[in-house]
Structure 1
Amino acid sequence: MDDFELYDDIIEDEGPSDPISFFSEEIDFEIANPALLRQWVESIVEREKGELNFVNYIFCADSYLLKLNQEYLKHDTLTDIITFPYHDPPIIEGDVYISIERIRENAHQFGATFEHELNRVMIHGVLHLCGYSDKTPEDKSKMTEKEDEALGILRSINA
Structure 2
Amino acid sequence: MSLQLEWSNEQNEYEIGETLIGQLRKLLEAAGETEGVTEGEVALTFVDDEEIHRLNKEFRNIDRPTDVLSFAMRESMGEEPEITYEIEEGEEAELGPEFDEMLGDIIISVPRAIAQSEDYGHSVEREIGFLFVHGFLHLLGYDHQTPEDEAVMMGKQEAVLQKIGLTR
- TM-score, normalising length from structure 1? 0.78
- Retained in 2: the 8 A contact 1:22–1:31? no
Question: What pairs with 1:28-107 in structure 2 (closer than 5 Å)?
Answer: 29-33=15-19, 34-87=21-74, 88=80, 90=97, 93-107=103-117
- Retained in 2: the 8 A contact 1:52–1:92? no
Partner letter of residue 138 of structure 1? E
Correspondence 1:117 to 2:127? yes
How far off is 1:51 after superposition?
Answer: 4.5
Picking from 139, 147, 158, the partner of 1:137 is 147
Partner letter of residue 34 of structure 2? R
Q: What runs of 5+ residues in structure 2 fail to find an aligned partner?
A: 75-79, 82-96
* SS of equivalent residue, structure 1 residue 19: strand
Following TM superposition, where does structure 1 have runs of at least 4 consecutive aligned residues deviating by more than 6 angstroms? none
Q: What runs of 5+ residues in structure 1 fail to find an aligned partner?
A: 1-16
* SS of equivalent residue, structure 2 residue 16: coil
Q: Which has the higher contact order (CA 8 A, sep 6+)?
A: 2
RMSD of aligned residue pairs (Cα, Å)? 2.2
Instruction: Quickly say closer, same or farther: Cα 1:130–1:36, change in 2 above 3 A.
Output: same
Corresponding residue pairs, total: 140
* SS of equivalent residue, structure 1 residue 93: strand
- Retained in 1: the 8 A contact 2:67–2:108? yes
- Retained in 2: the 8 A contact 1:45–1:130? no
- Retained in 2: the 8 A contact 1:50–1:92? no
How far off is 1:32 after superposition?
Answer: 4.4
